[in-house]
Chains A and B, each alone.
Chain A
Amino acid sequence: MAGYERKNSERYLPDQGREACGLFGVMNTSGKRFPGNVAISAIKNIKVRGNGLGGGFAVYGIYPDYKDYYALHIMFENKRREVKTVVERYLTENFNVAYDEQIPTNPQVSLFHPPLVWRYFVTPEKKGDEKDFSDDEFVVDKVMHINTSIDDAYVFSSGKNMGVFKGVGFPDEIADYFLLDKLYEGYIWTVHSRFPTNTPGWWGGAHPFSILDWTVVHNGEISSYGTNRRFLEMYGYYCTLYTDTEVMAYAVDFLMRRQGLPIEVVSKIFAPPMWDTIDQMREKEKRLNTTLRMVYGPLLLNGPFTVIVARHNEMFGITDRIRLRPITAGAKDDMVYLSSEEAAIRSVAPDLDFAWTPHGGNPVVVRMNSTDHLLSMDNSI
């Protein structure tokens, strides 16, 4: 975004997005990597949930040769080479850049106004006081600097051995554009088909949103965005991508990486039980839920939502507590699927062992070498 737009952003850009998007996620719980055709076919099945104004993928396990390096996917809007020079100067000041290249794209796919997208494999070069910070903390700080202080440069993803590919178009077109089914194999694929309704459909606003190896795809509207954003800013997370989902990526990084909480607890922060339900709980449970609402109240996510969040070795899906957006889970052997619609799962895995829809606010947690996801079948339909 140009500088003059940023000055006016609070006035012109609504602080929330109403969306009716399509979500799909698939994970192999044995860690076996597989190509993109599963995720691509599934999201094509629910094409009508998006309107071609945003599609994107997060893939885990794609850079085994550089698995110890942070893989920075950086978008340069308007293909501005001079911005790339500024970013690269900043990167070499702060990182050891082992390798970098333009992310390969298919010239035969014509998308609307594509930016230049480059990837850098880096390790932190910490100086002075910075040595007190963990590598992850250092990377978050530098990503925030690029996003907030360098015009027209945005970091799409910054995790190790994973990456986000996204843009304006239907998700299968984005997959074709970045040659996802030809070049990459991963053990988790999440994908999003966007239907933006009151924030712009632009390349940076496509899902997944990501920080470090966290990625979030989201259907719905986080009407608590303002409160969530203010809270996260106190911890050094700055929202620059003009859409509500961004807070969710920073919130999971804050709660799960920094604060070390498991998703089973985090889900009670995002989608807490109603007070009258808490009143009926046993004493210990009541104390936990009351404490969480007191301490982490500003991270309660209000409004209708379904999200699929992933990081290495873990993927989870959760809806708001009164399930105003749909989710269905499916499992077949060591493949576990999450989707907005059961049909999308059936279209790529017709012989499921299980298909179920959990209770609102109850997460489906898919973990490596575990069957934890089946726990969410309790009270499901």
Chain B
Amino acid sequence: MAGLALKVGLRDMFLEGSRHVSELGGYATVSGSEAWVDALNLKHKELNDLLREVVSQGARDITVKNVFGQRYIGTRLNGIFGCKVNLSIFGTAGNDLGAFLNGQKLTIYGNAQDGVGNTMNEGEIIVHGKAGDVAAMSMRGGKIFIRNNVGYRTAIHMKEYNDKIPVLVIGGTAQDFFGEYMAGGIVILLGLGLAEGKNHNANYVGTGMHGGVIFVRGNIEKSQLGKDVGIYATDDRDMEIVRQYSGEFAQRFGLDTEEILQGQFRKILPLSKRPYGSIYAY
């Protein structure tokens, strides 16, 4: 009986009932290089199909309203048209926002959920709210700016290669396993909303980290760090990097760079490039 249910009952939760893009004309208006999309009641695939459709009609600046958790927004705009697209998204962006993003610019006026910029290669994501867990997971290029807080395992296994250096700037604080297994890239945690004398939320920061750098503004205790990282004073070269990306952050959210830079910054670095080398190497 149970076996039969598995065979007969299995359904496609993504595609079942989703309409062809030719039936979705009523949800979009294109005018020259601009387009407006109403995502209310659109399924994941329908919305992403529609975004491709309006880009193919020449739209480069697209405003999407009434987003309620649709996933993979921006992912399927990669490459095919050879153009850069600006997406302005109003609502709550769904999981894997901008996954594999390759050059597009996404601005979210609202909160984002889990997996923002998953394996993103190039482009920019700006979130005027908070982001959920695993933001910037496996990110390998481009920039992400998040105005408020982030959840667990932010920047997990972020990586860099030659000139591909991903940048993630967070305005608020983070929850646990921040920078877990991080292998490269630049992460800046600004702690702008932290109350006086309060530490950052995150524990087990940088567990398994073996590359890249995390700059932290605001207090973080040694006991909050994972075993694989140390915390150090910044030097002039570090502060150049911090100034540049804090400035870009401030500019996007209408904040004052100098005010941000008045805070004390420190940097978290891995103690080893191969923390598990002695365990798994034979």
Q: Is B58 an interface residue (CB 8 A)?
A: no
| B interface footprint on A46-87 (CB within 8 Å = 1, 0 otherwise) | 111111110000000000000000000000011000000000
- Residues of A near B124 (CB, < 8 A) are none
Q: Is B61 an interface residue (CB 8 A)?
A: no
Q: Is A343 an interface residue (CB 8 A)?
A: yes
**Are B223 and A280 within 8 A (Cβ)?**
yes
**Are B13 and A342 within 8 A (Cβ)?**
no
Interface extent on A, as a size class? 35 or more
Interface of B is mostly: loop
Interface of A is mostly: loop
**Are B111 and A342 within 8 A (Cβ)?**
yes
- Residues of A near B152 (CB, < 8 A) are 322-323, 360
Q: Is A369 an interface residue (CB 8 A)?
A: no
Q: Is B3 an interface residue (CB 8 A)?
A: yes
Q: Is A126 an interface residue (CB 8 A)?
A: no
Q: Which of A50, A343, A344 is B13 in contact with, Cβ under 8 Å?
A: A50
- Residues of B near A359 (CB, < 8 A) are 175-176, 201
Residue of A whose beta carbon sits closest to that of B8: A112
**Are A202 and B13 within 8 A (Cβ)?**
no
| Cα(A346)–Cα(B177), bound, Å | 27
| Cα(A136)–Cα(B130), bound, Å | 45
| A interface footprint on B41-69 (CB within 8 Å = 1, 0 otherwise) | 00010000000000000000000000011
| Cα(A252)–Cα(B14), bound, Å | 34
B12 CB to closest chain A CB (Å) equals 8
Q: Is B133 an interface residue (CB 8 A)?
A: yes
- Residues of A near B148 (CB, < 8 A) are 381
| B interface footprint on A24-50 (CB within 8 Å = 1, 0 otherwise) | 000000000000000000000111111
Q: Is B10 an interface residue (CB 8 A)?
A: yes
**Are B113 and A341 within 8 A (Cβ)?**
yes
Tell me the residues in window 1-27 of chain B with beta carbons closer than 8 Å to chain A beta carbons. Answer: 1-6, 8-11, 13-14, 16
| Cα(A70)–Cα(B172), bound, Å | 49
Interface extent on B, as a size class? 35 or more
Q: Which of A1, A77, A328, A343 is B68 in contact with, Cβ under 8 Å?
A: A343
14 pairs from A and B in contact (CB 8 Å cutoff)? A48-B13, A52-B16, A112-B8, A112-B9, A200-B3, A242-B2, A323-B176, A341-B69, A355-B111, A357-B175, A360-B176, A381-B149, A381-B150, A381-B173
Residues in chain B within 8 A of chain A (CB atoms): 1-6, 8-11, 13-14, 16, 44, 68-69, 71, 91-92, 94-95, 111, 113-114, 130, 132-133, 148-152, 172-177, 201, 203, 223
Residues in chain A within 8 A of chain B (CB atoms): 1, 45-53, 77-78, 112-113, 168-170, 200-202, 205, 242, 277, 280, 322-323, 326, 328, 341-344, 346-347, 355, 357, 359-360, 379, 381
A-B contact sample (16 more), CB < 8 A, given A51-B13, A355-B111, A381-B150? A53-B9, A112-B8, A169-B9, A201-B5, A201-B9, A280-B223, A322-B152, A323-B152, A323-B176, A342-B92, A342-B111, A342-B113, A343-B91, A359-B176, A381-B148, A381-B174
